[in-house]
Every structure is written in structure tokens, then in C-alpha cells.
Amino acid sequence: MPDDRTLGVAMIGYAFMGAAHSQAWRTVHRAFDLPVTPRMSVVVGRNTDAVTAAASKLGWESASTDWREAIARDDIDIVDVCTPGDSHAEIATAALAAGKHVLCEKPLANSVEEAEAMVVAAEEAAQRGARSMVGFNYRRTPALAYARQLVDSGRLGTIRHVRAQYLQDWIVDPEFPLVWRLRKELAGSGALGDIGAHIIDLTQFVTGQRLTGVSALTETFVRERPLPAAAAGLSASGTEERGEVTVDDAALFFGRLDGGAVASFEATRFATGRKNAMRLEVNGSAGSLAFDFETMNELWFYDGSLPAAEAGFRRILVTEPDHPYVHAWWPPGHGLGYEHTFTHEVHDFLRSIVDGVDPVPSFRDGLGVQRVLAAVESSAANGSGWVDIPAR
């Protein structure tokens, strides 16, 4: 680490995720006490005008159209990969080979093979001190980090059920354009990899158990859409010309966890009226938890050890300084938002770099999720037959 205690960051990609990560890099050292300060050195994109404008809007010192040049710079310590999934493997492995620490957006890759190669690169690089982490930001929601603590401390007893849903509705309109998230060659899969990946990761994180097999179905409701007027995020407008949607709009599956629990999952972009309803319910022998990201400062807890007459789901407002991450922010009841999950993610990543330990979720954890995604696709393709998921 350089003596001046700053770490130069190069961020590749600057759309929705790039904006969320920029917010985190801008604020992390002001909210948390850290012995290092990230320097937002360079943001990289393909279009000179657009990336220059993004640099100025998001707070980066400079803009570049050449990611290889950016990762080769001596003053760059961290590479933050915020591009569509088709370029994660190439950029992340090159950055690790160049000795940089790498934060890579989820899902880790577009295939198990790519993810495996990334794990090899990450584990070799770790021996030389380069750290890597995959960006499952929702783990850093205080209520979900607290849910993990409750399960870990035994308050739920033996976990029996997980019910996980991720419900969005941003492509219900059949005229919504064919953005990159709807193209397999760029995104890998649809609702499955984009939002299903989050609930797979969260299920494994909160329960501490691994999915061992699944049965699944997927559906694409709208098979053709207008080509986008410009490559853009979630609200682009379309042209007259149409193209094929090559990913799933919805994925439903159920599975078994290695600690004996059973789990059901639903990931869809067609849940009209649900904007970002990422919901998790966990039932154990001694209690239950329920969470919905649309009310992200709340966690519902049923404590089965209380007398039946006074038991009942209790709303915990997860805004106390004792709750994970909250001490860095506002007084009780003032609440946090989506952007804080990224600040927490970047905080944990920097802390691991400073402490010289491997952060979690690791690329190997990302590979684990990738194996579940592949098993879901394979089950859906074989008429919902059971597919086992190999261990790490």
C-alpha cells in the first residue's frame, strides 16, 4: 500500500452500477473511520464524450476509453468492474494479473467456466496480496446483516424454510426497448442472473447453508422488443426496428440447502407494481424472520421462545447504532437507503485490503452462485428436472 495512505481507484463502466459505486467511493471515508482514502482517479467507458461527462458528474479525476491502459497505471491500486457481465472475466483477470485489488459487480460472470477462471486468477493473486470481492451489495443492508447475526446466534433454531422473492416490473411494457440486460450475449441471463443471483446469495449468506440442488422453470413473456435508441440503462426509449429477447423474464425454482432447509425462489421483472421488492422469509424451529427491501430499514422477527399469548411478528427498526453499519450514519429512526449498501460494500473491501485479509463474498462465493444459476437454467431446459449443484 502506498505511504500516502491513498488508494487509486479505476472504475470500468459508469451507468447505473457505476453511479452507485461512485457514490460509495465519494462517501466511504467520510462516513467511516478508515486509515486509507480512496482516490477516484479514472473512470473508463467506450464513448469519449459520455465517459467525460460521467467523470465530471460522478466525481472522477479523469476519463479514459482504454481500460487496459487504466489498469496498467502505477497509481491505480483498485479496479472496480461495473460493466455488463460479458466483460467481467477479461477485465477482472487482467487487473488481478496486474497486481490490482478487484471489486467486481454481480453476477461474477456469464458462465461457470468464466467464473472458474476468475477464481483461479483471484486465488493466485491473493498469494501476492491482491484482494478480490464480488459485489453482492444487499448483504450490506443493515437489516440483512443483522438477520445473519440472529441466525448465527441461534435465535431461529434449526432453519426449515427460506422463501425468497425478487420482484420488479420495469419491463412490463412490451414497448420497453431491448437494453443490454435483455440480451444473453451481454447479460448471460435475465431476471435469473440479474436479481435471482441476489436472492441466491442472500439465502446462503443469511442461513449459512449452501444450495445443493434445484428444480426450476423460466419464462420469457415478451419475445421481441424495439431496439434501443441509445445504449442506456433502465429507461431508454426504443426505435421502429425490433430484436429478439434472448433471456428469461422470470425464473422460479426451489431447492435444498445442505443444513436440511428447503427453499423457494421467484425472480421476475413482470410483477406489476413491485419496484424492488426483494423479500426474504426464514422459518426456523425457534423463530422466523421476514424482510422486504421496499421497507429496507425494517426487519420482522418472530421469537418462538415467548409465551404464545404475547408472541407475534415484531417490527425491528434497524437504525440503532448497535445494528451493523448504522453507527456511521444518523440517529435512530432516520433511516438508510439503497446507496448505503454500496458504501458499506466498499468500506468492507477497503478494510480487508488494509487488514491484509481476503474479503467476502469472494470470487469463489460468486462461483458458487454461478453454479446455482447454471443449475436453474439446466433444470428449466430439461422440463424442471432435479439438478444437483456441485460443492465449491
Residue 192 · residue 267 · CB < 8 Å: yes
To ligand SOE, the closest distance from the beta carbon of 188 in angstroms equals 12
For the CB of residue 302, give the shortest distance to ligand SOE in the complex, in Å: 27
3-state secondary structure of 145: helix
Give the shortest CB-168-to-ligand SOE separation in angstroms. 6
Give residue 292's identity as a one-letter amino acid code: D
Nearer to ligand SOE, 268 or 362 (CB): 268
Site track for ligand SOE across 122-161, x = CB under 6 A? ----------------------------------------
> How far is the C-alpha of 69 from the C-alpha of 14, rounded, in Å?
17
Taking the C-alpha atoms of residue 205 and residue 199, their distance in angstroms, rounded to an integer, is 9
Question: How far is Cα 29 from Cα 37, in angstroms, rounded to an integer?
Answer: 6
Nearest to 199 by CA among 269, 138, 249: 138
Instruction: Tell me whether residue 16 or residue 302 sits nearer to ligand SOE (CB atom).
Output: 16
Per-residue binding letters, 154-173, with ligand SOE (x by CB under 6 A): --------------x-----
Q: Residue 195 Cβ, how far from ligand SOE at the closest point, in Å?
A: 5
Residue located via cell numbers 454481480: 106
Residues that bind ligand SOE (rule: CB under 6 A) add up to a total of: 5
Which DSSP helix (H) or strand (E) runs through 103?
strand 101-105
Strand residue runs (E) in 136-233: 159-167, 211-219, 224-228
Which of positions 314-343 make contact with ligand SOE (CB under 6 A)? none
Minimum distance, C-beta of residue 293 to ligand SOE, in the bound complex (Å): 8
194 binds ligand SOE per the rule CB under 6 A: yes
Q: Which is nearer to ligand SOE, 92 or 199 (CB)?
A: 199
Q: Scanning residues 251 to 280, which ones bind ligand SOE (CB under 6 A)?
A: 276
- For 274, which DSSP code? -
Task: Report the alpha-carbon distance of residue 137 to residue 207 in Å, rounded.
Answer: 17
User: For ligand SOE, which residue of 16, 221, 302, 329 counts as binding (CB under 6 A)?
Assistant: 16
CA atoms of 141 and 116, how far apart (whole Å): 28
For ligand SOE, the nearest residue by Cβ is 194
> Are 253 and 215 contacting, i.e. CB atoms less than 8 angstroms apart?
yes
Task: Please say which residue, 228 or 284, places its beta carbon nearer to ligand SOE.
Answer: 228
CB closer to ligand SOE out of 125 and 195: 195
Q: Which is nearer to ligand SOE, 137 or 283 (CB)?
A: 137
**For ligand SOE, which is the closer residue by CB, 47 or 276?**
276
Based on CB atoms, which residue is closest to ligand SOE, 92 or 156? Answer: 92
Beta carbon of residue 374, minimum distance to ligand SOE (angstroms, whole number)? 19
Contact (CB, 8 A) for 88 and 104: yes
Query: What's the min distance (Å) between Cβ of 345 and ligand SOE?
Result: 12
Close Cβ partners of 142 (under 8 Å, ≥ 6 residues apart):
297, 318, 319, 323, 324, 325, 326, 336
**Closest listed residue to residue 28, CA positions, set 299, 354, 257, 276:** 354
CB 128 to ligand SOE: min, Å: 30
* Closest by CA position to 297, among listed 328, 267, 327, 338: 338
Query: Would you say 22 or 168 has its CB closer to ligand SOE?
Result: 168
Q: How far is CA 261 from CA 14, 145, 184, 234, in A?
A: 39, 20, 32, 35
Smallest gap from residue 199 Cβ to ligand SOE (A): 11
What residues make contact with ligand SOE under the rule CB under 6 A?
Answer: 16, 168, 194-195, 276
